Structure 1
Amino acid sequence: MTDTPAALREAHHADVSGGWLRPAVFGAMDGLVTNIALIAGVGGGGVSPRSIVLTGSAGLVAGAISMGLGEYTSVRSANEQVAAEVAKERRELERHPEAEARELADAWVARGLPRDLATQVAEAVRRDPEEALRVHVREELGVDPDDQPSPWAAAISSFLFFSIGALVPLLPYLLGATELWLALAVGGLGLFAAGAVVARFTHRPWWTSGLRQLLLGAAAAGATYLIGSLIGVPGGL
């Protein structure tokens, strides 16, 4: 069996810069918590199952659209800000290449690289303007200008996963059930399952991640149920 470097034997790293995982997780969790809390609140107020379905459906549609638009705007604005900073750095490299090379070398020296080697590498990088731009942006801004997240991927992921999450606590009512506790129980299972799935990407214990999401959702549902109970709806609309 041929020996290979340990790094090559390791599994490939997950893609953490594609822009879809964070909005997908956030969307699913937000959809679950939002509709569980909505259903708990109006259910605690004594409304009819039909009104609960109407409230949950409206929450699903409004929340999914809001999440999708919000993610698109947020990611696109961040990308535009990065692009503006990259353009500024490009101008600085064109106007003051020697000063920028010294600045890059100083940054590497601060990290422990010998001054002679840092200066030599900085000068070598300066010979290729595009590579110099990429290196300076990574060092000064902490981002890769060639690997920015897609606003469309973020928006679509957020929209879809919010919708899926928000649908979970509504399912018992859509299938004919009328008991509030059943919808909350199904929503709780959804929260636990979503947390356990997230643990697959974060490499944390699945049960602790699931329990954390369940407890957070239960806190939100408890608060809205209490408010709904205090306000109440005469006659149960």
Structure 2
Amino acid sequence: MKNKSIQTEIDACYLYRKLSENEPDKAVADVFRRMSEIEQSHAEAFARKINLPVENLIKPSWRAKTLNLIGKIISYDYVLGAMMDTEKSLSNAIIKTKEKNKQTITGAETNHVKILWSIVENDRNISGSQHARFEKKHRSVGGNAIRAAVLGGNDGLLSVFSLVMGVAGATGGNQGVLLAGIAGLLAGAMSMALGEWISVKSSQELYENQMAIEMEELETNPEGEEKELALIYMAKGIPEDQANSMAREIMKDKTHAHEVLVKEELGINAEELEGSAFEAAFYSFLMFTIGGIIPVVPFIFTTGTTAIAASVILSTVGLFLIGAAITLFTGKNFWYSGARQIVFGLIAAAITFGIGKIIGVAIT
């Protein structure tokens, strides 16, 4: 467990350094560099605690190197998103452990998540526009996009694999399996795509409606909105006189006031509305299809027991790779996560195969 803690810090140090090296904005790059130094100091402290020579610190894991490769190929915004997700998960785990052991929650448990913001906010060399850009990078799809891709592939593989095994159990793996597999693949992919499109579109329409109402309130009752804004700042701990002054200054520009009220009162970031529902639907369809085609492929070339065995082997490999890919976000052991995914996938397939076998015998 102690070595795992050191590995976590080493990985964070490595990835922050890579973010710094690939960040064109010098001020933001300096933030990443300083974060790398902080994580390095944490790793050294852990090492000294267990009498491990600092020069023998563990090298970056395959997970860290894979995330760096994703950054090189796609964008380092994805790397930052995945890292922050991981640190949030670790912070939540620490808090839950303390709650279970009835230990005091001090607030330091979320330092890894908060520290980037504290550095940026206290660094006078970073301009307002640079801070906004940094914040936008943090809010980017990042690790969420990679997670959605992995989970979309997982959904496709598991659902179509179970379907194929169920039909194979009932028919003995004849040509009907291919037809059922392709039909299930297309139906599942289109259902996923439509669900994603509706989800994104509904959220956008809801937020747009709330923003329109906020603009109407701003135009009809600007005094009331100014008081609301001042109260929001006071609730954050800002002195009353300063809060009133800030609200009064913001209300001088109606467009800016609307943006601030939408963010502070409604908790809506206007940039989040720019995502394309069609793009989300397309990628959902694509990833489900990629995962779902794996168990179907053998039945394109052969039938019977041979096709069933090949489908199980290919799907087992696919399940392991997906389980391993999930560790990019969870930080769990590569082999454990992959094996767990295989066990759950094969159990689901075995159940549907058995049910199909029973139904096939009954029909015959």
| Alignment TM-score > 0.5, same fold | yes
Residue 67, structure 1, aligned to residue 192, structure 2: yes
Q: Which residue of 2 aligns with 1:77?
A: 202
Q: 1:1-237 residue pairs with structure 2 within 5 A? A: 7-9=31-33, 13-14=80-81, 15-16=140-141, 21=146, 23-148=148-273, 149-176=275-302, 178-200=306-328, 202=329, 204-205=331-332, 207=334, 209-233=337-361
- Give the number of aligned pairs: 233
Give the counterpart letter for 2:356 in structure 1. G
How far apart are the structure 1 equivalents of 2:345 and 2:236? 43
Which deviates more, 203-212 or 161-170?
Answer: 203-212
Q: CA deviation at 1:188?
A: 2.6
Distance 1:80 1:22, change over 3 A: farther
Distance 1:107 1:225, change over 3 A: farther
Distance 1:206 1:77, change over 3 A: farther
Q: CA deviation at 1:96?
A: 1.5
Q: CA deviation at 1:168?
A: 1.0
Give the counterpart letter for 2:242 in structure 1. L
Q: CA deviation at 1:179?
A: 4.0
SS at match of 1:146: helix
Contact kept in structure 2, 1:23 and 1:154, CA below 8 Å: no
Q: CA deviation at 1:211?
A: 4.5
How far apart are the structure 1 equivalents of 2:238 and 2:320? 47
SS at match of 2:268: coil
How far apart are the structure 2 equivalents of 1:134 and 1:212? 46
Distance 1:212 1:105, change over 3 A: farther
Would you tell me which structure has more helix in proportion to its own residues? 2
Distance 1:125 1:4, change over 3 A: closer
How far apart are the structure 2 equivalents of 1:109 and 1:82? 25
Q: CA deviation at 1:83?
A: 0.6
How far apart are the structure 2 equivalents of 1:66 and 1:158? 10
Q: CA RMSD in A?
A: 2.9
Q: Which residue of 1 aligns with 2:116?
A: none
Which deviates more, 212-221 or 184-193?
Answer: 212-221
Runs of 4+ in structure 1 off by over 6 angstroms are: none
Contact kept in structure 1, 2:150 and 2:325, CA below 8 Å: no
Contact kept in structure 2, 1:105 and 1:122, CA below 8 Å: yes
- Structure 1: 5+ residue stretches without partners: none
**Does 1 or 2 have the higher relative contact order (CA < 8 Å, sep 6+)?**
1
Distance 1:94 1:182, change over 3 A: same
Distance 1:181 1:18, change over 3 A: closer
How far apart are the structure 2 equivalents of 1:130 and 1:213? 50
Q: CA deviation at 1:33?
A: 1.2
SS at match of 1:205: coil
Deviations 1:15-70 (CA, angstroms, capped at 9, x unpaired): 32798556534432221111011012112224333121111111112222222222
Give the counterpart letter for 2:183 in structure 1. A
How far apart are the structure 2 equivalents of 1:105 and 1:188? 58
Q: TM-score, normalised to structure 1's length?
A: 0.83
Deviations 1:110-160 (CA, angstroms, capped at 9, x unpaired): 233322332222222222222222222222332212332210110110111
Distance 1:144 1:216, change over 3 A: farther
Q: CA deviation at 1:169?
A: 1.2
SS at match of 2:295: helix
SS at match of 1:49: coil
Deviations 1:151-183 (CA, angstroms, capped at 9, x unpaired): 011011011111111101112333436242431
Q: TM-score, normalised to structure 2's length?
A: 0.56
Distance 1:4 1:93, change over 3 A: closer
